[in-house]
């Protein structure tokens, strides 16, 4: 029986198959690309929903308006816009007491005050404070202004700490910012379930405004004071354990270092302070000036080498400023231990109550008309050795020895 040989394919068939293979590959590539793009778009869409529904992109004035009716924190993880936010709080409250300064003012809290107050801390420098005061006085005159002063403001050579423009608008979202929630998930800062619920759950009611406030309990309270959140409760390692970070910054001895106290005071910066004081005087408001403390470790290091010319000249000039000045640079005069500090140059809330207590006991100001001395004494006694107040702690999340100083919390 003769075998039937398979016929060789015709040239036209071979060409058709050769053309079909790359077409199939192109189709598969296009399909994979389309699916990948669809997934990415879906994820970016979920990210957008998550960031907007948590309030992370909310205009600062809207956050302040919500806090007027709700006792919640405002803490965005993407934007730092204290100027429009603090001004909005001020316009709403029209307080008797306005506390103004840098981040070293933000631990003055409403506890102990018997009248309305707003903490307007978080300003970058005196130029920003000057603009803030102009806006404040255009809408309301407070009875008392407490102004905290940072010694590095008078070092003209220091590198400016830049802050982006602060419009009171919805925060725009770039692709990098839209990708941030996935980085937070990878870092364990938010859970995948939190992300999905925040983006898609119809019953989502966030217990705060902004990602930091909701998931880390970090942000500004309704009076403008700042809660540092989970870092004080041991959720993650503190960046200034045993003050190592602050000590490293001081060790950078170049002239642009903000901690360089071995340089003469800049007359131009002093004139800026004098102009700020004249603005307050023109309003008829009482003015109290405070030099906040750094930790005792940092006090000793700053004085350990060459003469602290900047500190000496600042103190000399402040003595003749014409208003009560309270220099708490060294916290030992307050009886404040390092266990009450947030880092090397930020005292905690107990330290700030101690400052109010010392001012009251001096009898040099009218502060007694705005605070309850007995309540301040009680708060200090019940919270000594802590940075936060028990009244501000969340159930089941006590303050830890976050600076690893051997503090008994």
What does the pLDDT read at residue 206?
A: 94
In three-state form (DSSP H/G/I as H, E/B as E, the rest C), the secondary structure along 98-134 is: EEECCHHHCCCCCCCECCCEEEECCCCCHHHHHHHHH
C-alpha span between 118 and 187 (Å, rounded): 35
Entry pTM = 0.90
Q: DSSP assignment of 328-389, as one string? A: -SSGGGGT--GGGEEETTEE-HHHHHHHHHHHHHHT-SSGGGTB-HHHHHHHHHHHTT-SS-
Query: Is the CB of residue 44 less than 8 Å from the CB of residue 182?
Result: no
Lowest-confidence pick of 50-54, 127-131, 160-164, 222-226: 160-164
What does the pLDDT read at residue 42?
A: 92
2 pLDDT tier (thresholds 50, 70, 90): very low
Helix axes 373-383 and 349-362, enclosed angle (nearest 10) = 140
Query: Is the CB of residue 102 less than 8 Å from the CB of residue 150?
Result: yes
5 pLDDT tier (thresholds 50, 70, 90): very low
Q: Please tell me the chain's helix, strand, coil percentages from 3-state DSSP, rounded to the nearest 5.
A: 50, 10, 40
CATH number of 76-157+220-392: 3.40.50.1110
Report the first-to-last Cα separation within the chain, whole angstroms. 100
Lowest-confidence pick of 8-17, 23-32, 106-115: 8-17
C-alpha span between 101 and 328 (Å, rounded): 15
- Would you give the distance in Å from CA 293 to the centre of its chain? 19
How is residue 247 written in tokens? 């000590």
Q: What is the maximal distance between C-alpha atoms in the chain?
A: 126
| Mean pLDDT score, 291-298 | 98
Check whether 189 has a pLDDT greater than 60. yes
* 147 φ/ψ angles, rounded to the nearest 5 degrees: -115, 120
30 pLDDT tier (thresholds 50, 70, 90): confident
14 pLDDT tier (thresholds 50, 70, 90): low
What does the pLDDT read at residue 163?
A: 60
Query: Is the CB of residue 249 less than 8 Å from the CB of residue 257?
Result: yes
Average model confidence (pLDDT) across the chain: 92
Q: Which residues does 311 contact at the CB level (< 8 Å), separation at least 6? A: 151, 261, 302, 329
| Mean pLDDT score, 222-245 | 95
C-alpha span between 61 and 55 (Å, rounded): 12
Check whether 3 has a pLDDT greater than 60. no
For residue 357, give Cα distances in angstroms to 113, 367, 373.
12, 10, 7
Check whether 385 has a pLDDT greater than 90. yes
Query: Is the CB of residue 144 less than 8 Å from the CB of residue 370?
Result: yes
What does the pLDDT read at residue 32?
A: 75
301 pLDDT tier (thresholds 50, 70, 90): very high
Check whether 297 has a pLDDT greater than 90. yes
Check whether 7 has a pLDDT greater than 70. no
12 pLDDT tier (thresholds 50, 70, 90): low
For residue 43, give Cα distances in angstroms to 175, 189, 402.
11, 18, 35
Torsion sign, CA atoms 91, 370, 226, 69:
negative
Query: Is the CB of residue 298 less than 8 Å from the CB of residue 155?
Result: no
Hey, what long-range contacts does 232-238 have (CB within 8 A, 24 or more apart)? 232/342, 232/387, 232/388, 232/399, 232/400, 232/402, 233/394, 233/397, 233/398, 233/399, 233/400, 233/402, 234/400, 234/402, 238/343, 238/402, 238/403, 238/404
């Amino acid at each position: 029986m003769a075998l039937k040989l398979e016929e060789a394919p015709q040239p036209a068939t071979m060409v058709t198959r050769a053309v079909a293979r790359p077409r199939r590959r192109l189709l598969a590539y296009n399909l994979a690309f389309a699916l990948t793009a669809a997934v990415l778009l879906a994820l970016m869409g979920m990210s957008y929903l998550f960031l907007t529904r948590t309030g992370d992109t909310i205009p600062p004035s809207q956050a302040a308006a919500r806090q007027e009716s709700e006792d919640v924190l405002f803490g965005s993880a993407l934007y730092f816009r204290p100027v429009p936010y603090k001004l909005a709080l001020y316009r709403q409250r029209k307080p008797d007491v306005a506390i103004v300064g840098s981040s070293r003012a933000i631990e003055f809290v409403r506890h102990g005050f018997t009248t309305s107050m707003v903490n307007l801390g978080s300003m970058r420098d005196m130029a920003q404070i000057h603009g803030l005061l102009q806006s404040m006085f255009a809408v309301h005159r407070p009875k008392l202004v407490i102004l905290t002063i940072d010694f590095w403001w008078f070092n003209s050579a220091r590198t400016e700490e830049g802050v982006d423009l602060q419009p009171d608008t919805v925060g725009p979202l770039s692709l990098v910012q839209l990708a941030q929630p996935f980085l937070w998930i990878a870092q364990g800062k938010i859970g995948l379930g939190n992300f999905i619920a925040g983006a898609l759950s119809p019953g989502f009611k966030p217990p705060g405004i902004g990602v930091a406030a909701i998931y880390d309990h970090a942000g500004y309270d309704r009076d403008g004071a700042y809660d540092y959140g989970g870092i004080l409760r041991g959720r993650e390692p503190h960046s200034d354990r045993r003050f190592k970070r602050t000590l490293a910054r001081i060790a950078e001895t170049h002239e642009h270092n903000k901690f360089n106290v071995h340089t003469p005071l800049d007359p131009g910066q002093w004139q800026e302070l004098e102009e700020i004081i004249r603005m307050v005087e023109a309003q008829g408001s009482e003015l109290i000036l405070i030099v906040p403390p750094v930790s005792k470790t940092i006090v000793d290091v700053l004085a350990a080498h060459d003469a602290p010319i900047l500190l000496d000249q600042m103190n000399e000039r402040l003595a003749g400023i014409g208003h009560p000045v309270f220099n708490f640079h060294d916290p030992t005069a307050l009886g404040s231990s390092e266990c009450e500090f947030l880092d090397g140059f930020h005292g905690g809330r107990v330290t700030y109550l101690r400052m109010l207590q010392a001012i009251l006991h001096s009898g040099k100001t009218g502060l007694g008309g705005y605070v309850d001395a007995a309540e301040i004494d009680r708060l200090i006694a019940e919270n000594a050795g802590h940075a936060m107040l028990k009244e501000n702690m969340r159930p089941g999340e006590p303050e830890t020895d976050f600076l690893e100083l051997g503090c008994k919390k």
